[in-house]
Amino acid sequence: MYNQTEIIKDTSELGAEGELVINMGPQHPATHGVLHLVVTLNGETIKKIEPHLGYIHRSIEKMCESLTYRQFIYVTSRMDYLSSHINNLGCALLVEKGMQIEVPDRAKYIRVILSELTRIASHELWLGAMAMDLGAFTPFFYAFREREMITDIMEDTCGARLTMNYIVPGGLMYDIHPDFQKKVKAFITQFKSKVTEYEDLVTNNVIFQSRTKGVGILSAEDAISYGCTGPVARASGVSCDIRKIYPYEVYDKVEFDEVIETAGDSFARYIVRVKEMNQSIRIIEQLIDNIPEGDFVGKTKNVLKLPKGEFYTRVETARGEFGVYVVSEGGTTPHRIKFRSPGFSNLSALNHISVGSKIGDLMASMGTLDLVIPDIDR
Amino acid sequence: MFLKEYLSDVAKGVSSLLKGMRKTGYYFTHPKEIITEQYPDNRATLLMSERFKGEVVMPHDANNEHACTGCTACELACPNGTIKVVTKFEVSPEGKKKKAIDALVYRLELCTMCNLCIVACPSDAIKMAPNFEHSVFDRTKLTKILNKPGSKIREGIE
């Protein structure tokens, strides 16, 4: 038999007088996955947000310890599934750095073009889903129309639309599709002609502006102390683009601007992502006609063995800095592996930026953080 | 002053809404520009990319011969234990013993279409097929034996 008074005592500890605790998720359409937020409310004002994780934990880091250096790359597609190609690139860069594998120029160029296409596809999906969270349904279809062209290009060249696994240590799995350049150019023309539609529908829309401007303000100091990276930190005025600070592959050869806004609110985060798409188009335009001839994969040994030691590489995914840390004992599998995922750090700022605002604004600030739950949980 | 600001805000709001409505109205009156594919109805004309990773198959030629030597490179490359190679020894008419595959068991339900087995295969005996409709009523049907019954290894492949 349970003691009734103890249960009453327990519930009284949950919240003070007049406070209401609601569970948002794990099955909530606006959390884009199984994120569980325990929101403490006073009326409509948010007092505290506590994210509960673990609903989609697959222990990817532990799984990778039993896979060889060729095999562990494919698992990282399942983390941040919207920038799976860039995750794979980060892992391949680590193996190449550890073993000093020479990568042919052709592979480097194609890797960068595909990375930027992945970034555009990710931002397109985010734009549609974010507008849908705020109640606008049409932009979702418009954004997916352009995204579909990218997934078609991926399907032609990589063989899959989302979880590509096209990168192997030393280069690429196979050469690009003969139609690749033609299709990418067609996409660029299509994108440039249609990007004004987003501005008419979303950016200049008065309802969208009044729901995002001044909502969820994150200052530059807080962005740094919470470890935010990517568009979230850049909207607060923090320069943190890995492509600029630690250039990998051919990012030091191309011209592009790091998009920085200073307002730090939800609208600034929106603007950063839209402008970033245009910068990605700029990078692709510079590279697409100059893909050098040659091999698409460098010479590697049959069995890859990383020398004893610790290795770390970072890449800029659509959400921020993705880091791979490997401790090697000299064997064919990693001894310990740790992924630094951008989503986890960005989520940690959610409580800070939402306290004091209304529950309707939570949708805007959560949507512009661009959370991908499998990336947070791993 | 307040009234003027309020009215200009209203005018700005209405104009921004009308701008957006014009875009959606354009597509409403131009149904030919809509690119939605009606999937189950367009099955006959649906073209998948030739590289699309749907499932692993083993191509056989007209004489029911394949190129698999049973070297187990695909089994070693697979991260999930999807492929199991069962080998046997064939005795040729001259009395020579030769290793050959008895069955290449492929478990579709475990496969993540990572393509590592195809890259690892030294004799290009297996490839990815672009089929994607894998639903079956019975789970056991997902475990497939890729080499056809009575098939042999092609001449000249070591």
Residue A157 with chain B: CB contacts under 8 Å: 51
B82 and B19, same structural domain? Answer: no
Tens-digit pLDDT string for chain A (378 aa): 555 555 555 554 555 667 888 888 787 766 677 888 888 888 888 888 888 888 888 888 888 888 888 888 888 888 888 888 899 999 999 988 888 888 888 888 999 999 999 999 999 898 888 888 888 888 888 888 888 888 888 888 888 888 888 888 888 888 888 888 888 999 899 888 888 888 777 888 888 888 888 888 888 898 899 988 889 899 888 888 888 888 888 888 888 888 888 888 888 988 898 888 888 998 998 888 888 888 888 888 888 888 888 999 999 998 889 999 999 888 888 899 999 888 888 888 888 888 888 888 888 888 888 888 888 888
Q: Does B59 touch chain A (CB under 8 A)?
A: no
Give this complex's ipTM. Answer: 0.79
The answer to whether the CB of B98 falls within 8 A of the CB of B88 is no
Q: What are phi and psi of A358, to 5 degrees?
A: -85, 160
Q: Name the amino acid, one letter, at A245.
A: I
The answer to whether the CB of B112 falls within 8 A of the CB of A70 is no
The answer to whether the CB of A353 falls within 8 A of the CB of A365 is yes
d(CA A117, CA A123): 10
The CATH 1.10.645.10 portion of chain A extends over 60-377
Instruction: Check CB contact under 8 Å for A160 and B52.
Output: yes
Displacement of CA A97 from its chain's centroid (Å) = 23
The torsion angle over the Cα atoms of residues A352, A355, A360 and A361, rounded to 10 degrees, is -40
Give me the residue label for tokens 């056809």: B148
Residue B51 tokens, joined: 């590289």
Domain extent for B24: 2-36
Give a yes or no: residue B8 inside a domain: yes
CB neighbours of residue A50 within 10 Å? 12
In chain B, how many domains are there? 2
Residue A138 with chain B: CB contacts under 8 Å: 20, 24
CATH number assigned to the domain with residue range A60-377, chosen from the 4 options 3.20.20.30, 1.10.645.10, 1.10.8.60, 3.40.50.300: 1.10.645.10
Q: What are phi and psi of A153, to 5 degrees?
A: -60, -45
Give a yes or no: residue B131 inside a domain: yes
Please name the member of A168, A174, A204 whose beta carbon is closest to the beta carbon of B19: A204
B68 and B140, same structural domain? Answer: yes
The answer to whether the CB of A256 falls within 8 A of the CB of A277 is no
B79 and B24, same structural domain? Answer: no
Residue A188 tokens, joined: 């660029």
Gap from A132 CA to chain B (nearest CA, Å)? 15
B28 and B62, same structural domain? Answer: no
d(CA A245, CA A248): 9
Q: Does B23 touch chain A (CB under 8 A)?
A: yes
Nearest to A350 by CA among A228, A260, A240: A228
The burial class, CB within 10 Å (0-12 / 13-18 / 19+), for A46 is: buried
B120 and B62, same structural domain? Answer: yes
Gap from A29 CA to chain B (nearest CA, Å)? 23
B87 and B31, same structural domain? Answer: no
Would you state the pLDDT for residue A21?
Answer: 85
Give a yes or no: residue B50 inside a domain: no
d(CA A135, CA B130): 37
Gap from B92 CA to chain A (nearest CA, Å)? 32
CA-based max dimension of chain A: 77
At B85-121, the pLDDT tens digits run 888 887 777 777 777 788 888 888 888 888 888 888 8
Transcribe B59-72 into DSSP letters: ---TTSEE------
Nearest to A366 by CA among A208, A207, A203, A216: A216
Give a yes or no: residue B26 inside a domain: yes
Closest-CA residue of A relative to B11 is: A206
Positive or negative, the Cα torsion across A162, A322, B80, A177?
positive
Would you state the pLDDT for residue A1?
Answer: 52
Residue A257 tokens, joined: 């601007």
B148 and B100, same structural domain? Answer: yes
B136 and B90, same structural domain? Answer: yes
B17 and B62, same structural domain? Answer: no
B79 and B7, same structural domain? Answer: no
B66 and B108, same structural domain? Answer: yes
